Amino acid sequence: MPTIHAGRYSTRIEGPFVIFLIGFRINRPLAFNKWIPVAKAMGPMLQELYTNPISASSPPRPPSTGPASR
């Protein structure tokens, strides 16, 4: 088993890097209709990242156009 190193650590990074976070928080546990679709989508999203890691490093897309931008 790996050793656990207690404390806070930092590093010096040279060059570009990416931090990709994925997750969700359930604020109202009884509001199933709000969080169940998100929970169901997490599995396929994680599977896609494991099978195709380059998909997480695609270039950023511009914000979607909505009624406010017309």
Residue 49 lies inside a defined structural domain of this protein? yes
Query: So what's the pLDDT on residue 65?
Result: 56
Range of the domain at 42: 26-54
Q: How many domains does the chain have?
A: 1
Residues of the chain with pLDDT > 90, as a percent, come to 4
Query: Side chain identity at 35, as an amino acid letter?
Result: W
- What average pLDDT does the chain have? 79
Question: Residues 8-36: pLDDT tens digits?
Answer: 888 888 888 777 777 788 889 899 898 89
Tokens of 4: 């656990």
Tokens of 63: 């914000």
Residue 9 lies inside a defined structural domain of this protein? no
Residue 30 lies inside a defined structural domain of this protein? yes
Residue 32 lies inside a defined structural domain of this protein? yes
The SS3 assignment for 3 reads coil
Cα diameter, the chain: 56
Task: Enter the pTM of the model.
Answer: 0.45
Tell me which of 10-14, 48-52, 59-63 is least confident: 59-63
Residue 47 lies inside a defined structural domain of this protein? yes
| Closest of 55, 35, 36 to residue 45, by C-alpha | 55
Residue 15 lies inside a defined structural domain of this protein? no
Residue 35 lies inside a defined structural domain of this protein? yes
CA 64 to chain centre: 18
